[in-house]
Amino acid sequence: MSSGTSSSSIYVLPHTVEPNPETGLFNAKLGIWLFLASEVMLFGALFSSYILLRVSSVNWPLGSTILNIPLGTLNTMVLISSSVTMVMAWASLKMKDFGKFKLYLGLTLLCAFIFLIVKYFEYSAKFHHHLFPETSTYMAIYFTLTGLHGIHVIGGIIVNSYLWGPGSKMWLDQPERFTNRIEIAGLYWHFVDLVWIFLFPVLYLL
């Protein structure tokens, strides 16, 4: 009867830090770009539907006569500011300053919550004036586009809250990988901001 020794090895997924030589990107960045491509198709289809419905309508209402432009402008400035703080959070990690990272990502989360609070007041005002998705085609598009965008904002809050809190422990033993995660979260957040930059003029100003 013979006995032998067995050894177990832990498989580490490659290219989580260093770029894949075939793509020039580390895995997560390639994955987020593919995900964002699908998101572009989603919002692109909704924007295309909006354009077709508006062009074919005779009495299409002006968004400036229905929506609150000052609140929409405020939310635009809030989201643009959040993109800046998101970049600063990533840059802080590049400079090995974890304290500033926590500050800037915290400010990003604060801006996201402000955006949702302002949107809550906008929605409340519409409901108070009996404006619902079934009221008109325009209101249906408004609630669909801004509601879907709001869901994406909530998704960003969930991810960034995790990275700001328990997920930040990765910085202690895998700082480069954690920095990559913040970069990926930042790419998603910039996409969310970019969608709003298109939504604001299309729905509020035109």
- Per residue in 76-132, pLDDT (tens digit) is 999 999 999 999 999 999 999 999 999 999 999 999 999 999 999 999 999 999 999
Q: What is the CATH number of the domain that holds 157?
A: 1.20.120.80
Decide if 86 is inside a domain: yes
Listed in sequence order, the residues at least 6 apart from 45 whose beta carbon sits closer than 8 Å to its beta carbon are none
Q: How many domains does the chain have?
A: 1
Range of the domain at 162: 27-205
Decide if 16 is inside a domain: no
Asked whether residue 2 carries a pLDDT value surpassing 50, the answer given is: no
What's the whole-number average pLDDT of the chain? 89
Kindly report, residue by residue over 44-53, the tens digit of the pLDDT.
Answer: 999 999 989 8
Kindly report, residue by residue over 149-194, the tens digit of the pLDDT.
Answer: 999 999 999 999 999 999 999 999 999 999 999 999 999 999 999 9
Residue 135 burial (10 A CB sphere; 0-12, 13-18, 19+): middle
Decide if 6 is inside a domain: no
Decide if 2 is inside a domain: no
Task: Give residue 13's pLDDT band: very low, low, confident or very high (50, 70, 90).
Answer: low
Name the least confident of 9-18, 63-72, 97-106, 158-167: 9-18
| Cα gap 107→170, rounded to integer Å | 21
Name the least confident of 9-13, 73-77, 138-142, 193-197: 9-13
Decide if 168 is inside a domain: yes
